[in-house]
Amino acid sequence: MADTLAFADAVEVGCGIALPMTLKAMIELDVLEIMAAAGPGALLSPEEIASKIQTSNPEAHEVLDRMLRFLATHKVVTCEVVVGEDDGKSKRRYGLGPVCKFFTKDENGVSLSPLLLMHHSKVTADAWANIKHAVLDGSVPFVKANGMTIYEHEDKDPHFSELFNETMFNRTTMYMKKMLENYKGFESINVLVDVGGGHGGILSIILSNYPHIKAINFDLPHVVSKAKTIQGVEFVGGDMFVSVPSGSDAIFMKEILHNWKDADCVKILKNYWKALPDNGKIVIIECVLPEISQNDNELKEIFLLDVIMLTYTVGGKERTEKEYQLLAKASGFSGLKIACNQGRSSSPAVPSSTTMRSFIGVEETALEIQLIKGGSERRVAQHYRLQHSTKGEGENQITGCVGFFLATRASFCGP
């Protein structure tokens, strides 16, 4: 029995391309949105769906039926068999499965559909076909396949650039809405710079909650040149490896460090430090990898993201807690202190005679990474709870999380 199940798993892995590519076709044909438009819990026949698609194939409904029943086996869609009143024949009708909530547009008009389309485009598929070369000769799969980095390709391919930025905007919108329900650290900020902000989606969401903020969206010139005007947002083109806009209270960056090798991250962080005033801070959102890979659904996304970075970027990766320690020291800090406390809602006390520059990563179990430079200590006591990712009863062992970091130049006075 175990061998039978293992064999079935092996076949599924071997033919795994069928699931995302079939779902990709459903997205491109607008099938999921057609089903969503029918209303909550609605079931549609393949004929009803086909009638809303511009097709010259008289057998389109039969093809749709075969594709949808396959998706039903993976719980992407639901399937119900009904008996026709006229002919007595069994017919299938389909509805949206729970996962489709994230592949159909929500109240903000966003979904994960662009993400699936981007990761299964020809450009990225060619990169995956070259992943073995990362082992054989150390080359970057995306560069091996396309002759340039993903960012250079984005600059030269308008279609891919649009898809890439749409993916980032949609995914970020879904994430940031949830984040702002809990994190209140923007209340005291007057001027905020979003580095790598794309078309300004993050700042638009932040300003909807904090309209008093003067916002600067900073990205490469070709990116900001295509951005639409957003009230309250100034678009500035430039290169974060050279400099970033100064004069802000805080710099925000979401999933930027994981795109770059350690040496590049050091350059980025040093430029941020130069741009900030003494009471400024950097708000960073990144993932924290566990030391050991485990068969845990909550962790699969993080390990998946790490392999994506391996395939698409030049030296990009997700990092473990220890790797963030090394990155901190490589950035010029002389020491690092880690505190992990179940349910902690504030930083541990530090003598008021000292100040500290700090990274603070906080999920459901507080992870605080405090960087110490030259004997002076600085810190902030702001936390953001994201998700519970501990293992072991009564333990404070970090196994992986979507980490939230604050790098700050804020003076600390008292506990």
- Rounded to whole angstroms, the Cα distance separating 286 from 327 reads 13
Residue with tokens 């970027």: 313
Q: Any catalytic annotation for residue 258? A: yes
- Rounded to whole angstroms, the Cα distance separating 348 from 404 reads 17
Sign of the alpha-carbon dihedral angle for 133, 139, 141, 144: negative
Residue 252 structure tokens: 């925000």
Q: What is the CA radius of gyration of the chain?
A: 24
Q: Residue 285: how many CA atoms within 13 Å on its side-chain side?
A: 19
Q: Residue 3: exposed, middle, or buried by beta-carbon count in 10 A (0-12, 13-18, 19+)? A: exposed
- Rounded to whole angstroms, the Cα distance separating 136 from 144 reads 12
Helices (H), 315-397: 321-330
How many CB atoms are closer than 10 A to CB 70?
15
Residues in Cβ contact with 95 at an 8 Å cutoff, skipping those fewer than 6 apart: 35, 41, 42, 43, 44, 77, 78, 80
- Rounded to whole angstroms, the Cα distance separating 377 from 361 reads 17
Residues in Cβ contact with 155 at an 8 Å cutoff, skipping those fewer than 6 apart: 161, 220, 222
Q: Which residues pair with 398 in a beta bridge?
A: 390
- Which residue of the set 119, 153, 199, 258 is catalytic? 258
- Rounded to whole angstroms, the Cα distance separating 92 from 73 reads 13
- Rounded to whole angstroms, the Cα distance separating 206 from 192 reads 10
Do 258 and 287 touch, CB atoms closer than 8 A? yes
Element housing 119 (H / E): helix 113-119
- Rounded to whole angstroms, the Cα distance separating 123 from 257 reads 23
Catalytic residues: 258
